[in-house]
Amino acid sequence: MNRHGTVVFWVICCLLLLSGCFQSAPKESSKDESETISPMVDFPEKVPVIIEPPQIVVSPIDEMIGQMTLTEKIGQLLMIGVDGTVFSDEMDNLIRNYHVGGVIMMGRNVSTTPEMLQLMNDIKKANEPNKIPLFMSVDEEGGRVSRLPAGIPKLPASAKMGQQYDETVSYRAGSYLAEVLQEFGYNMNFAPVLDINSNPKNPVIGDRSLGTDSGLVSSLGIATMRGMTDNGVISVVKHFPGHGDTIVDSHKALPKVKTSLERLRKVELVPFQQAIEAAADAVMVAHILFPALDPDYPSSMSKAIITDLLRNDMQFEGVVITDDLTMGAIANNYTIPEAAVQSFIAGSDLLLIVNGYDNQINTVNAFVKAFEAGDITEQRLNESVKRILILKEKYDVTDDVKESVDVEKLNELYQKFIIHLK
């Protein structure tokens, strides 16, 4: 082979070798060639995350309020007095059609035990068509403030109880009060008095107070309160922010007390603050002008005293009740409907109107007008109605009638109580 042929030969060999290098290696498979290859896995499309809104749980009381009419709500704010010793058409109208929240029994309603029991039962029966039971209330302090018929033993005056300075005796006194009042069908008592007898010229408190020392009044007053509440009767402590240092009877005119908030905090407010910390359910606000706190309105109509002081500063969350709005301290200076609306705006829940059928009807009408004018909002109205309904539920308030009063039992209870008095 000549030199040219030799070159051609080696070129051909190189080309053959190069072509072999670029061929794919044969596939090795342990599987049968008829077996299909699984397709690529398809991932699901992205699912949107749905966040459920939090479910709002409506309490039975809130549900009830949501179903109440405006008249029913306004009615719950009223605690009324009634005339005479027998049931009347006026009482029937206020209870059935105006849905009042409660009734207070006064001295003018006291007759014999059977007659008084009949009057209370008739009041409750009139409320049967309504959804919400009545507060049946009374001022039963003992001593000179008592609404018990003859033959039912009453407690000594608070000053006498204060002289014992014994919390156990005071607790027993509250327990006895609860037993007596429940025999008649009461569920609320405007007691104990937490006023400090700090002014000997005071014409309205005096021996209604437990004493002159805030510590004594606090400890014995709270013991009496617990004696009642532990035995099923609502205790309303009174007369906030303190009626002991007045020289004017608020039943007749408006007392004016020139004292500072600092003095009130050190003396008059002490029993109320301690009662609140001891879970007081209800506080009655007095008709007294405290210029240092509010130069314009008496305490029972003052936002500075009811909302700012009692609710916000002293952290009271229960029911606020006015003293009787038909007392001279208010009636001499305002119309009753005007005072009631202002008191409610200031923070009161229950408005006590003891006297005057017209006063009671006109107050309802004044509330309707204030609501329509926007002076009272539905939220504010619902707040007070809710406090009232919570208190009624807490004490299982009912309109159950009482068949009779066991006078012998009450006398035996009293005899067991007085053996502890010194």
Question: Of 166, 195, 323, 324, which one is the catalytic site residue?
Answer: 323
Q: Is 4 an active-site residue? A: no
Q: Is 323 an active-site residue? A: yes
Question: Of 92, 122, 249, 251, which one is the catalytic site residue?
Answer: 251
Q: State how far the alpha carbon of 238 is from the alpha carbons of 23, 190, 277, in Å.
A: 108, 7, 15
> Active-site residues: which are they?
251, 323
